[in-house]
Amino acid sequence: MLKISNTKIIFIVIAIWYAVGNFIWWQINTPIIPYDIAARHFLDIFTEGYLFYNAPLLTYIMRFMFYIFGKEYFDLIIIFINYIFFLIPLYFIYKIGTELKDKETGNIAMILFAMVPAIYGMSRQYGHQDYHIIAAIAFNIYCLIKTDHFKNLKWSIIYGISIGLGLMIKDTFISYFFPPFIIILIQSFRQNFKVSNIINILLSISGACLISGWHYFRFLIFRKLLNEPITDPGAPVFSFESLRVMTVGLWEELLSPPIFLLFLAGLIWFIIKYKNDYKYPFILCMLFPWTVIMLMSQQKYAEFGAGFIPIIILIIALSSSYINKKSVKKMILGLTIIIGMLQYIDFSYGIDTKLFNNSFTYKNHKINYYNKKNTAIIYYDNSKDILAIKISNYLKTNYPNATILIKEFREDTLDYLSFISWMLLNNSNVYYDDLFDFPPVNNINIVMYSHMGISADELIASRIGYLCTTFQKNINYSNRKFLMKQLKFLKEREKEINNNFYQVNSFNFKNEFKRIIILARK
pLDDT at 229 over 80: no
As a residue count, the chain comes to 522
Q: Tell me the average pLDDT across 142-154.
A: 94
Q: What is the pLDDT of residues 164-195, one digit of tens each?
A: 999 999 989 999 999 999 999 999 888 877 88
- DSSP, collapsed to helix, strand or coil, labels residue 101 as coil
Count of C-beta atoms within a 10 Å radius of residue 198: 13
pLDDT tens digits, 25-46 = 999 998 898 887 888 888 888 8
- Whether 136 and 165 have beta carbons less than 8 Å apart is answered as yes
pLDDT of 115 > 90? The answer is yes
If you average pLDDT over every residue of the chain, what do you get? Answer: 86
State residue 128's pLDDT score. Answer: 75
What was the pLDDT predicted at 457? 67
Q: What is the pLDDT of residue 294?
A: 86
Is 17's pLDDT higher than 90?
yes
Residue 50 has pLDDT above 70, yes or no: no
Q: What is the pLDDT of residues 244-289, one digit of tens each?
A: 888 888 999 999 999 999 999 999 999 999 988 899 999 999 999 9
Can the peptide bond before residue 31 be classed as cis, meaning omega within 30 degrees of 0? yes
Neighbouring C-beta atoms of residue 363, cutoff 10 Å: 5
Please determine, for residue 367, whether its predicted confidence score (pLDDT) is greater than 90.
Answer: no
* Range with the poorest average pLDDT among 306-320, 390-404, 422-436: 422-436
**pLDDT of the residue at 226:** 75
pLDDT digits (tens, 9 = 90+) for 421-430: 898 898 888 8
Provide DSSP, 130-148. Answer: TTTHHHHHHHHHHHHHHTT
Whole-angstrom distance, CA of residue 194 vs CA of residue 253: 46
Confidence band of 49 (pLDDT split at 50, 70, 90): low
At 14, the pLDDT band (50, 70, 90 cuts) reads very high
Distance of alpha carbon 266 from alpha carbon 269, whole angstroms: 5
Residue 278 in 3-state DSSP?
coil
Helix residue ranges, H only, 377-504: 386-398, 416-425, 456-470, 477-500
pLDDT score at 194 = 84
Residue 2: what pLDDT?
Answer: 43
Question: Contact, 178 vs 131, CB < 8 A?
Answer: no
> Is it the case that residue 472 has pLDDT exceeding 50?
no
The confidence score (pLDDT) of residue 88 equals 97
Question: H or E segment at 67?
Answer: helix 57-69
Residue 512 backbone phi and psi in degrees, to 5: -70, -15
The confidence score (pLDDT) of residue 87 equals 97
